[in-house]
Amino acid sequence: MKNAERRSQVLAIARDVFAEKGYHAAKIDDIVQRAHIARGTFYLYFTDKRAVFGELLDDLFGRLRTAIRRIDVTAAEPLLDQLRANVRRVLALLFEERALTKILVSDAVGLDPDFDEKLLAFYGQVRAVIEGSLAEGQRLGLVQPCAPELVATAVIGSVKEIVYQTIFGRLQASADDVVSALFACYGRALLR
């Protein structure tokens, strides 16, 4: 097995272990045992435990960033469809990557100041995108007057909570259900 392959194998196993046990309860031993490698080998691929976790998080952040596209008012595609597609892509990714999502909404929270910062930075970026879209919409007269930073935060929180409750089995909802519900709330309220 070549280097990169082994690396991503360990990464995938670490992801599952973190998701199952949580960051602190997950031991390096759990990971290396499941990966059938020696303890020392782990440190050939990663500098330390935090680094693996950070990498997993960054990976998800990257893919989420790709999924979230700024609304293009000049594009042919109707704005609402663009929005819907955005939410669908995000939810599809999160529902598909259960382990990573669990890590994101549960383990990474309050882990330590650096990770808190990482999370806040990511959510800040997402918020900026949503705020930008809202501001653009208001400029074009498509969106009702509102406090964009609060609405954007509320939207993020809604998605997070729905995903969180779904991940922990307290909510059964398909991506489409969620899209519909979110549009029932925010669409109706915000669009003119």
Partner DNA sequence: TATGAATGAGCTTTCATTCAT
Partner DNA sequence: AATGAATGAAAGCTCATTCAT
Per CB under 7 A, residues contacting DNA are 1, 3, 6, 26-29, 36-44, 47-50
State the nearest-atom distance from the C-beta of 74 to a second copy, in Å.
Answer: 27
- 132's CB contacts (< 8 A; 6+ apart) are 70
46, 73, 95, 137, 146 from 141: Cα distances, Å: 51, 12, 34, 6, 12
Q: What binding mask, one character per residue, do residues 105-144 give for a second copy by CB under 8 A, x or -?
A: xxxxxxxxx--x---x--xx-------------------x
The region of 34-42, 48-56, 82-90, 99-107 touching a second copy under the rule CB under 8 A is 99-107
Using CB under 8 A as the binding rule, whether residue 171 contacts a second copy is answered as yes
**Interaction partner, residue 128 (DNA, a second copy, none; CB < 5-8 Å by kind):** none
Three-state DSSP at 191 gives strand
Q: What are the phi and psi torsion angles at 143 (to 5°)?
A: -120, 140
**Interaction partner, residue 39 (a second copy, DNA, none; CB < 5-8 Å by kind):** DNA
d(CA 26, CA 38) in angstroms, rounded, equals 16
State the nearest-atom distance from the C-beta of 58 to DNA, in Å.
Answer: 17
In our burial notation (b when 16+ CB lie closer than 10 A, e otherwise), range 113-125 reads eebeebbeebbee
**Interaction partner, residue 61 (DNA, a second copy, none; CB < 5-8 Å by kind):** none
The two tokens of residue 63 are 């893919």
d(CA 150, CA 130) in angstroms, rounded, equals 11
Residue 1 or residue 76: which is nearer to DNA going by CB?
Answer: 1
Using CB under 8 A as the criterion, which residues of the chain lie in contact with a second copy when the complex forms?
22-25, 105-113, 116, 120, 123-124, 144, 146-147, 149-151, 153-162, 164-165, 168, 170-171, 173, 177-178, 180-182, 184-190
